[in-house]
Amino acid sequence: MYDLIIIGAGPAGITAAVYAARKNKGLTYCATCDGPLFKGKDVAIIGGGNSTLDAALQLMNIARKV
């Protein structure tokens, strides 16, 4: 299972079921702030546009797999 990083203002990009299942279990919205929490882990980034790409680039040196 992947830890999730959601890029955007809130959980609008995911379903309510995913949000409910992952709330307080590795779901975060800020790769810059929370990136160190994912050191050595597999992460999935959900979002769109430049912000998502920027988050992926930031996490490439922290996470095991993006």
- Catalogue the active-site residues: 30, 33-34
- Map tokens 């279990």 to a residue: 25
Closest CA to 45 of 29, 32, 23, 24: 29
Q: How far apart are the first and last CA of the chain?
A: 12
